[in-house]
Structure 1
Amino acid sequence: MKNLRWIIKEILPFWPRVCLTLLLSALTVTSHIGLMATSSYLLARAALQPPIMDLMITIVGVRFFGISRAVFRYCERLVSHDVTFRVLSRIRMIVYKGIEPLAPAQLKDMHSGDLLSRIVGDVEVQQNLFLRVLAPPLVAVLVLLGYGGFLAHFNQGFTTILAAFFLAAGVALPFLIRALGNGIGQMKIQAKAKMHTFILDSLQGMPEMLAFGQTGAVFQRIQEAQSELSRSDRRMARVTGISNALMGMISHLGMLAVLVLGIFLVKQGQIDGILLGMLALGVLSSFEAVIPLPVSQHHLEENEAAGRRLKNLIDEGQKLLEKDERKEISTGIGDGSEERSIFQNCELEFVNVSFRYDPDGPWVLDNISAKIPRGRRIGIVGRSGAGKSSLVNLLVRFWEPNTGEIRLGGVNIKELRPLDIREKIGIVAQKSHLFHATVKENLLLAKPEATNEELYEAARRAKIHEFILSLPQGYDSLIGEGGMKLSGGQQQRLAIARVLLKDAPILILDEATNGLDPVTEGELKEELLALTEDRTLIVITHHLGFVKDLDEILVLEKGRIIEYGKHEDLMKRKGLYRRLWENGSEI
């Protein structure tokens, strides 16, 4: 249960609803007991042909218990599911907050399908924790105490029999079922995760699989994962069948034991024979409270396996959050004090920065040193794989350099919270993600409180305002998953409009003009240069013509800065930049 303690803590704030759920569940079982016992008593009394008025109270009792059972069951379902959904909502928020600091470096080795399986499937599994794991044994105890006390009025032996068979059905049988089904829950969770991973990978890579004729191989992998999941389901079904059979046997043996004792007591004259059916059927009905207990072991194992997978993610994220909180205290940011000068001058400096993605892999950046004062407009060019985009990933702390420092305002960014750094930087990547939402909602991601006029102005500067107005619903038009209803150039212009709306002091364009026609690219370039007169602009591109008029150009080759300076100076040196320029303005 250690992997479920954090989830149980999320249930505790709802203890009034939890207590009400337990009470309603116990009343539901009590109504079932009352219905069966009263019906039996009514039939036994009616067989003696008493006056009809003598049966009226019993008849009303049958009606009452029949109606109350349905009412209590409905109310119990209403309250218990309300608790469950509230807890699931809290768990989703906890999981998201735990995952958010991990992206993307700490998640690089995890399949997107497995990650989706955790934040969706593993969270959904936790709905069984309260409904089918924690509540049933508590309800069983309440029923045992309540009905056991009722039976004690007739004879203590009835209570002893009920307690003994309750222990057999609610304690011994679950242990047996857990032993028979050991590992099923873990196996089922892993099989689901594997299948989700394969399915998501196949959906994301569908065009490539169709183009290369690999659909058969992918289908076979999915089928194997489904077979593994089916095996776990069949094994669980067999164990459940055994559980149901044993539960039926125990409950009927309990009823038979009460009946035998009752017959003996009738012969002794201690109880009225008319009560035999009522006592026997009442005991049989009371086993409704312990029927869920053996199966709850399967749910418990699934909950533990899913909880462990979620907790591993959350713990990693929590470690990073705790580091950030300590940095917040040490820097004074976030406690109401004025912003430090590091966020006022926004000077960037790379000091002997080296980086590689894997410990044994090649160096992507090798001893990089550069200073970018605020308000400078810098171009970074080089062949593919030179390390241009890696600089951006390090700057926003998606990754950490192996050696060296990156300074913002003279302070090592490792001493700052990633959130504070990213608030000051606006990035348009080569492939910016657009959500399946409206144009307006995608823009407001950068500035939720922005006015319509601010949205329009950002779109005008990105040269996409007129296109948006031509859409059927204008800014309220849905753009599809990943912006699939837009062309590549339109997607990039929308992403540029979004980053312009953010109005950050540092603007980074990482191959942001890919997919734009030359005319639009030229107009956008002029707009950006005019817009960034008092901001830092970093342009990473293969289009050398885009960086020609910038203040300085850095030329990367194999992770090193081999040239830097203005366009005219670099052309005079007759180095790599000039060779690239003479071979064409696009690398």
Structure 2
Amino acid sequence: MSTLIPPGLNRRLVLAALAGTAADLAGLGLIASAAWLITRAAEQPPLAALSVAIVGVRAFATSRGVFRYAERLAGHDVALRAQASTRERLYEALIPSQPLSHRGADLLSRMVDDTDAVQDLLVRVLLPAVAALVTGAVAVVISLFLLPAAAFALLAGLVVAGVLLPLGTAAASRRWSARLAPARAELAARVADLVHGSADLAAYGAKAQALAAGTEADERLAALERGQSRVSATALLAGVLTQGLTVVAVVWICQAAGTGSVATAVLALMSLVAFEPVLPLASAGERLTGVLAALRRLTALRSTPPAVTEPASPAAPPSGPLTVTVTDLVVRHGDAPPALDGVSLALTPGKRVAVVGPSGAGKSTLLSALMRTVDYESGNITLNGVEARDLAADDVRSLMTGLTQDPYVFQATFIDNLRLAGPEATDDQLAQAIRSAQLTDWSSPAAWDTSLGEDGRTLSGGQLQRLALARALLYDPPVLLLDEPAEALDEETATSLMADLLDATHGRTTLLITHRLRGLEAVDEILVLEDGHITQRGTHAALSTTDGYYRTLWQAESMLHT
């Protein structure tokens, strides 16, 4: 439980439990005092003999509403805070983790549905169980003083409704709960495929098959939910029958013992009300099975091994102008041959270095190693002489970051997406980043509130890359890393973007990964990376006249443009 409740919320949880218990006890006191008052008043005693009961009815009726409101307020507050904390910790666990095999829709289902289990555990299982236990115990103790035989009958009914039925529903629903979450994730994945891939499905004539698969997933989920609903309905019926039979048994015992009408009414109605907090425990038992399954999935997700090893005692991040030195770097993915083998380079303040090479040469792996999203096997990466592995990964990424492939755009306004890189940025700083990235469509503040739609679908490829570049320039890290900024753009857009990018990075320490050579005359050094090795290094003027990969690619690119 301590892993679910954030620090500082335990007191709120205790208050919620106390308030819920007090509300149920007030309900028990209300019905007991009201039963006594009505039956005693029928005997026409002096009014003074009823005054205490009248005050008790009013006090219990008023306090019951107050305590119930307090319980709802405190209980939902702690549940929502615990849920938010769980999601936050899940994000923190996933960000540095190794690549996951789960589909995006499955991860979304776990992030939304499974984290709801934390709220259900507190609001629908834990708090009701505490209130039911205390209220049932108080009802049995009162009955024990009035008529011991009736107390044992009430105890038996409460045990059936509060213990046996929840255990039974938990066992019956276990086979449903283990299949419901995967079914929901499958349906979410099918729906996501239909929504996001509708154009591709229509183009390839696969729309009917995708719809059929989605319908089949929906029918499977509906069948499972109907089965679980039958368990719930059966448990509810059994609980109500137990409640009724218990009240009948209490009345019969009272009649057999010759108990007066006042005690009989109090015992019968109190027994009826004692079941009010107990009956929901049957559905709580059913819910508990699903909650535990969801928590196991969250635990498995959070236990995904991190992509990089964090130091036990991170060093303080270096300050001032940053010099990054890479020496004999070796990076290997699993048991495959090294993706990088003996790579060395230096990024001094203000220096711009471009890395070119064929696909699969290890260019993106180099950026991943610099940003500490993959571990390196041997060699060194130092920042002002401090080994990168001695720094917290977040500290390294705050010093070296920038534009990665496939930048994400949220369904929000243009300016909100840009502010992700600088939440405290002024309007002048935002405008400067927009001008540097040549985002002409948003150069006017009047256009900043334009919604970009889901996944930035209203943006063209060039606009998306320019927005990502504006983010990187606004964040302004000491070392700017740019990974294929012109990838998948048409020739005219890519040429324009590269020209603006090289102009915007003038005087910034920059490492640029690119397939395009046009404009690289402006950078200070070019590295040619092939099969994980640096095969050439120098300026554009030197490499374009020296036999090798760079000259061949430059000649081919020049012929294309002529």
Residues 182-581 of structure 1 aligned to structure 2 (within 5 Å): 182-266=174-258, 271-316=259-304, 324=310, 326-328=312-314, 331=315, 333=316, 339=318, 344-356=321-333, 359=335, 363=337, 365-374=339-348, 375-402=350-377, 404-464=379-439, 466-470=440-444, 473-514=446-487, 515=489, 517=493, 520-521=496-497, 523-525=499-501, 527-528=503-504, 531-532=506-507, 535-581=508-554
2:286 maps to a residue whose letter is H
- Structure 1 residue matching 2:343: 3-state secondary structure: strand
State the 1:62 CA deviation. 6.1
CA contact (8 A) 2:328 2:342 kept: yes
State the 1:49 CA deviation. 7.3
1:527 maps to a residue whose letter is D
Counterpart CA distance in 1 for 2:397 and 2:387 is 14
CA contact (8 A) 2:170 2:288 kept: no
Distance change (3 Å), C-alpha of 1:344 and 1:281? same
State the 1:123 CA deviation. 0.9
**For 1:171-221, what per-residue CA distance to the aligned partner results, in whole angstroms no more than 9, with x for missing partners?**
222222223333322222222223223333443333322221222332333
Which residue does 1:135 correspond to in 2?
A: 127
- Structure 2 residue matching 1:6: 3-state secondary structure: coil
CA contact (8 A) 2:370 2:400 kept: no
Distance change (3 Å), C-alpha of 1:109 and 1:63? same
- Structure 2 residue matching 1:508: 3-state secondary structure: strand
**For 1:498-555, what per-residue CA distance to the aligned partner results, in whole angstroms no more than 9, with x for missing partners?**
21222223222222245463774475155235x22xx432222222112134222222
**For 1:457-502, what per-residue CA distance to the aligned partner results, in whole angstroms no more than 9, with x for missing partners?**
22222223x532346x243443333333333222222222221222
CA contact (8 A) 1:510 1:540 kept: yes
CA contact (8 A) 1:463 1:520 kept: no
1:125 to 117, 121, 142: 117
Q: Are positions 1:6 and 2:40 aligned together? A: no
State the 1:310 CA deviation. 1.6
2:94 to 81, 95, 99: 99
Identity of paired residues, percent? 32
1:415 maps to a residue whose letter is D
State the 1:32 CA deviation. 4.0
1:563 maps to a residue whose letter is Q
CA contact (8 A) 1:38 1:58 kept: yes
CA contact (8 A) 1:351 1:406 kept: no
- Structure 1 residue matching 2:310: 3-state secondary structure: helix
CA contact (8 A) 2:174 2:290 kept: no
**For 1:270-294, what per-residue CA distance to the aligned partner results, in whole angstroms no more than 9, with x for missing partners?**
x323432332122122111210122
CA contact (8 A) 1:18 1:83 kept: yes
Counting helix residues as a fraction of each chain, which structure ranks higher?
1
Paired residues, what number? 556
Counterpart CA distance in 1 for 2:271 and 2:501 is 83
Alignment RMSD (CA, Å):
3.2
Distance change (3 Å), C-alpha of 1:394 and 1:47? same
Distance change (3 Å), C-alpha of 1:414 and 1:75? closer
Q: Are positions 1:24 and 2:19 aligned together? A: yes
- Structure 2 residue matching 1:126: 3-state secondary structure: helix
Distance change (3 Å), C-alpha of 1:392 and 1:29? same
Q: Which moved more, 1:411-420 or 1:138-147?
A: 411-420
Q: Are positions 1:89 and 2:79 aligned together? A: no
**For 1:367-412, what per-residue CA distance to the aligned partner results, in whole angstroms no more than 9, with x for missing partners?**
2423224143222223333332222122212223455544444554
Segments of structure 2 that go 5 or more residues without pairing to the other structure are: none
Counterpart CA distance in 2 for 1:353 and 1:152 is 77
State the 1:57 CA deviation. 7.4
Counterpart CA distance in 1 for 2:324 and 2:373 is 20
**For 1:57-111, what per-residue CA distance to the aligned partner results, in whole angstroms no more than 9, with x for missing partners?**
7677667666655554344323322222222222222222222222xxx133222
Distance change (3 Å), C-alpha of 1:433 and 1:175? closer
Which residue does 2:106 correspond to in 1?
A: 114
TM-score scaled by length of structure 2: 0.87
Distance change (3 Å), C-alpha of 1:572 and 1:274? closer
- Structure 2 residue matching 1:324: 3-state secondary structure: coil
State the 1:141 CA deviation. 2.1
Counterpart CA distance in 2 for 1:205 and 1:462 is 30
Distance change (3 Å), C-alpha of 1:437 and 1:155? same
CA contact (8 A) 1:165 1:254 kept: yes
- Structure 1 residue matching 2:275: 3-state secondary structure: helix
CA contact (8 A) 1:424 1:504 kept: yes
Counterpart CA distance in 2 for 1:367 and 1:522 is 29
1:85 maps to a residue whose letter is L
- Structure 2 residue matching 1:539: 3-state secondary structure: strand
Q: Which moved more, 1:165-174 or 1:514-523?
A: 514-523
**For 1:288-308, what per-residue CA distance to the aligned partner results, in whole angstroms no more than 9, with x for missing partners?**
121012221221111111112
CA contact (8 A) 1:353 1:406 kept: no
Segments of structure 1 that go 5 or more residues without pairing to the other structure are: none
TM-score scaled by length of structure 1: 0.84
- Structure 2 residue matching 1:386: 3-state secondary structure: coil
State the 1:33 CA deviation. 3.8
State the 1:122 CA deviation. 0.9
